[in-house]
Amino acid sequence: MRGGWRAAQFTGGVDVTVAGAAASAVADLLALGEPVLLSLALSRNGVAAGGHFVTALGVAADGSLEIQDPNPLLARTSLADYINGFSAGGAAWQGTVLGAVRFAVRGPVATRFLAGVLWQPAGSISTMVLNIASAAGACGMAWPIEDTADASGNAPAEGALVSLLSVCDGAQAAYELDVGAPQPYSAFVTDLAAGGSEFDVPGNAAASYALTRPKGALVVSPLAAAIAANGIVNAAAFTSGLAPGGIMAIFGTGLAGAGAGTGTATAVDVDGTAAPVLFASGFQVNAQIPPGTLPGVHTVRVKSAYGTAQQQAAVAAVAPAIFLLDGGSAGAVLNQDNSLNAPLTPLPRGQVLQVFATGLGATANQGQYSVVTAGVTAVVNGAELPVSFAGLAPGFVGLYQVNIPIPAATPPGSGIFLTLKQGGQVSNSVEIAIQ
């Protein structure tokens, strides 16, 4: 069972991934020319009879799934037979679809790995955790399989046993594996790369592991708080500039989580001074650099349920950075009417553009607003323009707002580059549209 995912190595360009088990999802994959392997739980005369596999090959005229059945005794050609029940060999049989995997016509990624939990009582499988995630999100769903034998090769004495399998492409730098339940379990991780190793991670309670490839081979280790190399950047453009009062993003592993049920909240400090946490996940924490931080090199420390990690970070008086949307060249820029500035919603010339940034440094109270103490200008279409306001966005922590009046004589167009200048520093560039 563990070696099943290695089938991709022998099929000449076919990858194996978990798919949705619903009939409609399977039919969609079949329409793409991708056969689907279905995991079934069988019953014989109303008694659990272990697991079975059939391959869905097509969709019949009535909408049912056509299958290839490798069992010569059962020999069904339609999935509907299993769902509705049938007689064979003097017994009444019925099947329930537990999960599905697709055979996608593409070359498998060389960094794939497989994780699983084996031989768990079907009645308690709902409490079993098997989650794999990276900074890019969850790897996908687990594939349940009903087992015909236990770890000793014997038929289950107390009802059906179920195993869960989950596969991940391994393309990210680091992953977190959460596995287990408050009961004895057998779990494993298999490196599907050529020559990859297998790791057994059994337990009696839920546990978390870090999965990395520091030197090419997969390494599985207990999850501990760690900050990635050069992993402290500004939260706007993910570049190295940091400034007092701005928002930093800290990347790593084990930065947040339940920590075996301790419920410990993530905390951040700079040289011992608390840095308010705005967002926390296992792979990223956003926190405000304390406004009173002086320019220089400082120690940033993260405490989570998985321990403590720290790293040195340079802080400058100002480090302007415009927030990016979806990792592209579009910025967090609004028109005067608060609509998002975009090619289809350009700013009319003569109106004010609102730009949201971080790293603009110290502020001073001016009426009901906090305005920056170091002057800011904008560069639009190569022309440097004055701004009408640069300060903290009301109601937000570490978020700055810069209002830029766009002269009526500015040439219109889309894909116009905008940057902010402050104290000799230039921000990242974003694209705006002007009408």
Kindly report, residue by residue over 282-305, the tens digit of the pLDDT. 999 999 999 999 999 999 999 999
Please state, in angstroms and rounded to a whole number, the distance separating the CA atoms of residues 237 and 320.
10
210-262 pLDDT, tens per residue? 999 988 899 999 999 999 999 999 999 999 999 999 999 999 999 998 654 45
- Per the rule left: phi > 0, alpha: psi between -120 and 50, beta: everything else, 370 is beta
pLDDT grade for 10, boundaries at 50, 70 and 90: very low
Q: How far apart are CA 276 and CA 289, in angstroms?
A: 8
Which residues span the domain enclosing 195?
110-223
Question: What is the structure's pLDDT at 110?
Answer: 86
Q: Which of 315, 343, 378 is where one domain is finished? A: 315
Question: Do the beta carbons of residue 286 and residue 311 sit within 8 Å?
Answer: no
The verdict on 168 and 184 lying in the same domain is: yes
pLDDT score recorded for residue 391: 98
CA distances from 70 to 37, 53, 66, 85, 301 (A): 12, 8, 13, 18, 57
What is the pLDDT at residue 240?
Answer: 93
Residue spans of alpha helices (H) in 213-368 = none
pTM: 0.82
Q: Do 129 and 201 belong together in one domain?
A: yes
Provide the number of structural domains found in the chain: 4
Q: Which DSSP helix (H) or strand (E) runs through 226?
A: strand 226-234
User: What is the CATH classification number for the domain harbouring 272?
Assistant: 2.60.40.10
Residues 95 and 199 in one domain: no
In this structure, the answer to whether residues 277 and 334 fall within a common structural domain is: no
Instruction: Report whether pLDDT(422) > 70.
Output: yes
**Residue 74: Cβ-neighbour burial (10 angstroms; 0-12, 13-18, 19+):** middle
CATH number at residue 375: 2.60.40
Residues 39 and 98 in one domain: yes
Q: What is the rounded CA–CA span in Å between residue 433 and residue 435?
A: 7
- Residue 421 predicted with pLDDT over 80: yes
- Regarding whether 246 and 177 lie in a shared domain, the answer is no
At residue 50 the predicted structure's pLDDT band, cuts being 50, 70 and 90, is confident
